[in-house]
Amino acid sequence: MNVLVVGGGAREHAICDAVARSEQATLFSVMNNLNPGIEKLAIEYLLKKETEIPEIVSYAKKKNIDIALIGPEAPLEAGLADELIKNDIQTCAPRKNAARIETDKEWMRNLLTTYKIPGQLQHQTFTDPAEAQRFIDDLDAEVAIKPIGLTGGKGVHVAGDHFNGTTEAMAYVTEVIQNKIGGAAKVLIEEKAIGEEFTLQAFTDGHHVAPLPAVQDHKRLLPDDKGPNTGGMGSYSCANGLLPFLTKQEYHQGVTILQHIIQALAQEQNTYIGPIYGQFILTSQGVKIIEVNARFGDPEAMNVLPLLQTDFLDICTAMLNTTLSTKDIQIEKKSTVCKYVVPEGYGVKSMAGEPIYVNEEALRKTGAMLFYASVNKKDDHILTGSSRSLAVVGIHDTLAKAERISEQALTCIKGDHLFIRHDIGTKQLLEKRIRHMKEIRGKK
Ligand code: GLY
């Protein structure tokens, strides 16, 4: 089976790794940067921007691709899945209209309202800053300010984290509207939900949802959740599929919400096929939806895809044939800790083009997995790009051991201008999360 994976990040390296484990697969890649991990796994690759649709479709046709998988959100928004499908290439990723669940936050909130899907937050969109100010003044709560469209995870500003008080809130509201941040002269304002966030990824064939273990990502750049928002500095998951602060019942509330969303999309004639990602927050009022993404998470894909025991291509085939069943998906019961290595200055001004040295042989001996991200291979050197460079994933029965393995693996990576959030998956940070959730539950 000829499989094309679009995207050159660590998430796509993890997707390629899952594909390559299938004996049925012959792997092709389209990526913007020469990812050394994907280069090793693919029998052939095309270096191309992931939104250059005609070139990608023509490559897929030339290579007789049977199944295409799309990692990042930008090509989904640009309609790559639609064009591949139009050209008779089976695609395990949503079409442009279904991907609006991620690419248009106003549309997502409206869908939740129309179909009375649980987990909604108080919200409203504005084109006029004065009306936005009235909403903020009247709402007896702090707010989150969100551009409508894609911003690479960096456009959301939250009270207390990114600004304080109405004057600072209004300065960002005005900036988003005037500068059309996220593509529209519009802003979405939501009540700030207080609690612990968790990610729930699932496969769906448009009707059935097969959920994967819950994961917690760390969006802030610096230890102890300080500093600017990033695409995600690392993440962990637990062997039982839950998180130290998340009960089975709460996990299932998240799954039910995803099921409602998939049903709503089908009713809207926007049947959704592929991986889906719910970003939830556990509050004193139960599970609420922060956002929904039309793809695997990055880094969260790296926590779950290595644990798949079922052939990934069998899952893709089931998604395409509408025969997906939770029972058919086996997942190894292990804990995982993923830590990203990023260039110094990432999140503000990255030091790109700096060499990064990876002792792959020593790293393999630690038992960790290695996923390359925004790096470029040049004359046998690996150079940092402006985004996250690579990730290591420790996998073990216990979270504590998985964390130690990820740290051992990090000692095999050298470079003068690199940064890592070493606190991810540590006992200290986990205990802080558990305490936080205990306090919140106490406020009920
Ligand atoms: N981990 C955040 C994202 O994938 O959007």
Cα of 84 to ligand 1 centre, how many Å? 24
CB atoms inside a 10 Å sphere around CB 168: 13
- In this prediction, residues 172-176 reach a mean pLDDT of 95
CATH of 2-95, one of 3.30.360.10, 3.40.50.20, 3.30.43.10, 1.10.3720.10: 3.40.50.20
pLDDT at 292: 98
357-358 vs 381-384, strand pairing mode: unpaired
Read off the pLDDT of each residue in 150-170 and give the average, rounded to a whole number: 89
> Is residue 330 pLDDT above 70, yes or no?
yes
- Name the residue among 352, 361, 369 with its Cα closest to residue 417: 352
pLDDT digits (tens, 9 = 90+) for 238-254: 999 999 999 999 999 99
For residue 215, the Cα-to-chain-centroid distance in whole angstroms is 10
Task: Report residue 62's pLDDT band, with 50, 70 and 90 as the boundaries.
Answer: very high
pLDDT at 444: 60
297 pocket-lining for ligand 1 (C-beta < 6 Å): yes
pLDDT, average across residues 108-120: 98
Q: Using a 6 Å cutoff on CB, does residue 73 contact ligand 1?
A: no
Q: Give the pLDDT confidence score for residue 183 in this predicted structure.
A: 92
Question: Atom 5, ligand 1: which residue's CA is nearest?
Answer: 297
For residue 408, the model assigns a pLDDT of 98
Q: Does residue 300's CB lie within 6 angstroms of at least one atom of ligand 1? A: yes
CA 110 to chain centre: 22
Taking the centre of ligand 1 as the mean of its atom positions, its distance from the CA of residue 154, in whole angstroms, is 10
- Angle between helix 10-20 and 312-320 (nearest 10): 100
Average pLDDT over all residues of the chain: 96
Q: Which atom of ligand 1 is nearest to the CA of 153?
A: 5
Provide the percentage of residues in the chain whose pLDDT is more than 70.
Answer: 100
Q: Is the Cβ atom of 9 under 6 angstroms away from ligand 1? A: no
What would the mean pLDDT of 24-29 be, rounded to a whole number? 97
Cβ partners under 8 Å of residue 217, min gap 6: 197, 199, 232, 234, 235, 297, 299, 300
Q: Is 102 in the pocket of ligand 1 (CB under 6 A)?
A: no
Predicted confidence at residue 358, as pLDDT, reads: 97
- Could you report the per-residue pLDDT of 351-382, keeping only the tens digit for each? 999 999 999 999 999 999 999 999 988 888 99
User: Could you tell me the pTM of the whole model?
Assistant: 0.96
**Closest atom, ligand 1, to C-alpha of 296:** 4
Q: Judge if the beta carbon of residue 217 lies within 6 A of ligand 1.
A: yes
In testing the pocket of ligand 1, which one of 298, 338, 339, 340 has its CB within 8 Å of the most ligand atoms?
A: 298
Rounded average pLDDT over 395-407: 98
The residue to mutate among 217, 292, 340, having the most atoms of ligand 1 within 8 angstroms of its beta carbon, is: 217
Confidence label for 140 from pLDDT (cuts 50, 70 and 90): confident
pLDDT at 327: 78
Instruction: Yes or no: say if 212 and 331 are a contact pair by the CB < 8 Å rule.
Output: yes
If you count them, how many residues does the chain have? 444
CATH class of the structural domain 196-429: alpha beta
Interval between CA 152 and ligand 1 midpoint (Å): 9
266-299, pLDDT tens digit by residue? 999 999 999 999 999 999 999 999 999 999 999 9
Structure tokens at 43: 């029998």
Query: Does ligand 1 come within 6 angstroms of the Cβ of 250?
Result: no
- Tell me the CA end-to-end span of the chain in Å, nearest whole number: 53
User: What is the 247 CA–ligand 1 centroid distance (Å)?
Assistant: 22
pLDDT tops 80 at residue 443: no
pLDDT number for residue 228: 86
CA of 232 to the centre of ligand 1 (A): 6
- Domain ranges (residues) in the chain: 2-95, 122-191, 196-429
Residue 19 contacts residue 8 (beta carbons within 8 Å): no
Residue type, 60: A
Q: What is the CATH number of domain 122-191?
A: 3.30.1490.20
What's the rounded Cα separation, in Å, for the pair 318 and 312?
10
* pLDDT higher at 218 or 140: 218
pLDDT exceeds cutoff 90 at 347:
no
pLDDT in the model for residue 20: 98
Antiparallel, parallel or unpaired: β 143-147 and 157-158: antiparallel
Confidence of residue 141 (pLDDT cuts 50, 70, 90): confident
Is ligand 1 within 6 A of the CB of residue 293?
yes
Backbone angles phi, psi at 253, to 5 degrees: -60, -40
